[in-house]
Structure 1
Amino acid sequence: MVDWTHERYAAAAVTQIERMAGTVEGADFTTQVPTCPGWDLRQLVTHTGGVHRWAALMVGELAAERYDRAALEAGFAGLADGELAGWLREGAGLLDEALTAHPGDAPMWAWGGDRHVRFWSRRQLHETVVHHADAALALGVTFDIPEDVAVDGVEEFLDILPYARWRPEVRELTGDGETISWRTGSGAAWLITLGPEGFAYERSAARASATLHADTAAELLLLIWHRGELERQRMDGETKLLRWWADHSMI
């Protein structure tokens, strides 16, 4: 099991950004991205690179409040197609410089519950992983997500989900003790319990009201980020509960 530290998250984020840049190098940036409806590859790349720069700017200044990301991203519209892959790589350096300049426990603004620099090293790793998957799926090329990254990505999703306040449906992820199990063929398994005030999760293969099976944690990660088809997966028990969770956990 990987001992994920702030430094490891930062290094892994750089690796994933460089991999994504390699995937889009020389691509047709008018290619539509089915997993991000309404976006083409140019919009996907400028959004992803913009998020890296937004995070780097805030981390670099240990921002006490949110900076305006839309204003920052508006400055990237003039990039030529041939510049986009290199620009994405350049963002990896900017992000790495900012993240490694501060200890992970340095306090700063974050939209999740962990309001420290380490929130951003972890978030930028998984932001990039999912958007790299978007790019690869759009271009029809192969890609892989390391299983240790995917396992942490599943838990990061569950950690940040309650704070996605721009999605009112998330506040409805409550219940009276119903349980959802996510199980993978690679051995990783999680148990989610719905309570009156929200949900909690733990690593467990215990029986549940409903169970979703995936071959790997990487496959599960894409499913919970709605980058896969739930109906193609094996589901046991109260399958309506799994569909309800999927509808209410989209962020």
Structure 2
Amino acid sequence: MEPSRFLGCLTDDFARLRAVASIDPTAAVPSCPGWSVADLTHHVGEVYLHKTLAIREGAEPEPWPPADLAAEEPMALLDRAYAGLLAEFAAHEPQDRAGSWYAPGQTVGFWIRRMAQETVIHRIDAELGVGAPVAPVPDDLAVDGIDELLKVFVEYSVAEWASAFSEILADSPGWTYTVRTDGGAWSVRTGPGLLRVTDGAADAADVTVSGPPTALLRWLWGRELAGETSGVTVDGPPEAMAPLRRCIVTATQ
């Protein structure tokens, strides 16, 4: 996806997030236990502000968040931070330098993509919180989101912060997974201390996870309600799926 496409998706999902979040700020968000919609709104505002500073200063700000943000009204913070983020994006080219936790992605373009994906997931959180219909995710954004989750979050985190995953993967006999949707397929291989992601379906997978793009993105991010029929199919033994699911949760906390 081109940066302009990510920015268009960001614009659409921000508008939906803001509209939905105003319906009932006190509602509980089932996909973010312990959070209200107001808490979610405040969090997204903090995220936008953090990335604005990471671009402007060339490094992620530490410590974070500043104490004075806690008292700011959530919707006011969201609007202020979003305006600042868009201004920062407009002032730079995608290839310009920006600080990030992801070593291969030290560019403004990395944050354009990341904020589009961050926003669509939290837009879904807000919809689940207030009981609004979950709007479809464009197929190209959903496929990219699956790719980002598997490679940028899970594979990179296992390699970079191995100690957080050592217990999960210590006894892995070496499982192979195929993750497949319309427009994309990935092979995931695990072993003790190891998780590798490659493009394309595995020749022989222990587990195959498949479904429509929006459904698969939501399933991988844990954005489903209990008892909801998602359209995602998991074919393989539960004991093989469990470590991949635990790695995803650990990498995205």
Q: Do both proteins adopt the same fold according to a TM-score greater than 0.5, normalized to the shorter chain?
A: yes
1:156 is displaced (CA, Å) by 0.9
User: Do residues 128 (structure 1) and 91 (structure 2) align?
Assistant: no
Match of 1:163 among 157, 171, 181: 157
1:182 is displaced (CA, Å) by 1.4
Match of 2:206 among 209, 213, 220: 209
1:246 is displaced (CA, Å) by 0.6
Asked whether the 8 Å contact 2:54–2:100 carries over to 1, the reply is no
User: Do residues 79 (structure 1) and 73 (structure 2) align?
Assistant: yes
Match of 1:67 among 58, 62, 66: 62
Where 2:114 maps in the other structure, the secondary structure is helix
Match of 1:118 among 109, 114, 117: 109
Cα distance in 2, alignment partners of residues 249 and 169 from structure 1: 12
User: Do residues 249 (structure 1) and 244 (structure 2) align?
Assistant: no
Question: Could you tell me the TM-score, scaled by structure 2's length?
Answer: 0.82
1:107 is displaced (CA, Å) by 2.5
Gapped regions of structure 2 (runs ≥ 5):
none
Cα distance in 2, alignment partners of residues 219 and 102 from structure 1: 34
Asked whether the 8 Å contact 1:180–1:208 carries over to 2, the reply is yes
State the match for 1:103 in structure 2.
93
Where 2:242 maps in the other structure, the secondary structure is helix
Cα distance in 2, alignment partners of residues 181 and 211 from structure 1: 5
Q: Which runs of 4+ in 1 moved over 4 A?
A: 164-168, 171-177, 229-233
Where 2:121 maps in the other structure, the secondary structure is helix
Identity of aligned residues (%): 28
- Counterpart residue type for residue 35 of structure 1: S
Cα distance in 1, alignment partners of residues 214 and 15 from structure 2: 19
Asked whether the 8 Å contact 1:18–1:89 carries over to 2, the reply is no
1:166 is displaced (CA, Å) by 7.4
Matches within 5 A, 1:130-209: 130-142=121-133, 143-158=135-150, 159-161=152-154, 162-163=156-157, 168-171=163-166, 172-173=168-169, 177-184=174-181, 186-195=182-191, 198-206=194-202, 207-209=204-206
Alignment root-mean-square deviation, CA: 2.7
Match of 1:88 among 59, 65, 78: 78
* Per-residue Cα deviation, 1:73-119 (whole angstroms, up to 9, x for no partner): x4253417xxx2x6534433221111221222222320113122222
Question: Could you tell me the TM-score, scaled by structure 1's length?
Answer: 0.83
Asked whether the 8 Å contact 1:112–1:163 carries over to 2, the reply is no
- Counterpart residue type for residue 48 of structure 2: H
Asked whether the 8 Å contact 2:27–2:129 carries over to 1, the reply is yes
- Counterpart residue type for residue 208 of structure 1: A
* Per-residue Cα deviation, 1:21-52 (whole angstroms, up to 9, x for no partner): 12223x22111111100111110000011111
Match of 2:52 among 34, 39, 56: 56
